[in-house]
Structure formats: structure tokens, C-alpha cells
Amino acid sequence: MYKLSNEGAFSRDFGLRDQMRRAAVSIMSNIAEGFESRTRSLFIEFLGRAKASAGELRAQCYVALDVGYLRDEAFEDLRCRAEVCSKQLSSFISYLKSL
């Protein structure tokens, strides 16, 4: 995300650039914070937040594509990665709830 948003007009759109960077970082930060939490239910809550951030990043990818900051290939790669991440988090949440 940092590399993609550090080029051309994208690098000067501080609002979108920074929001997308925060969403991407938020995914892994919430997973880490949840892992270090006291209870399984709290871990699941943080995983849900991470999943929400992945959804936010996917939505923002469409904005970046629409305004011309991302080329089709970069958009599809980033969108797919966020979608895979979201699906993995969903599966992990379901697994933890089944324990």
C-alpha cells in the first residue's frame, strides 16, 4: 500500500492516501492486538475489526481506481489481497467460535 500510494497524484492526495495506509496497517495491528488480548472472545472481536478494515481498504481501492490513482492491474491485485485476507479472517473467526 505504501509503495502504490507513493507515486504521482496519489502521493499528493493526503486524505485518501493516508486513509488507505491506515486501513492496511489496521488489519495487521488488530490481529496482533487481539492475539495478545486476555480472552478468546476479545481476540474474535479484534479479528472482526481487522476484517472491517479489509473491507474498508477494498472500498477505497475502488475510489483510487475511479480517480485514476491505480491502474487496473494494481487495483485488482490489491482488491484481491484484501478480499483473501477478509475471507481468511472470517474462517478463523468461525473456527475460534466453534471451540
Tens of pLDDT along 5-27?
A: 999 999 999 999 999 999 999 99
- Per-residue pLDDT band at 2 (split at 50, 70, 90): very high
Tens of pLDDT along 58-74?
A: 999 999 999 999 999 99
Tens of pLDDT along 30-56?
A: 999 999 999 999 999 999 999 999 999
CA distances from 26 to 30, 46, 56, 73 (A): 6, 10, 10, 24
Q: Which residues contact 27 (CB under 8 A, 6 or more apart)?
A: 50, 53, 54, 57, 85
Domains of the chain, residue spans: 4-98
pLDDT score for 82: 98
Looking from the CA of 4 toward its CB, the CA atoms found within 13 Å total: 22
pLDDT score for 45: 98
CATH number for the domain running over 4-98: 1.20.1440.60
Statement: the pTM of the whole predicted model exceeds 0.75: yes
**8 Å CB contact between 90 and 51:** yes
- Per-residue pLDDT band at 96 (split at 50, 70, 90): very high
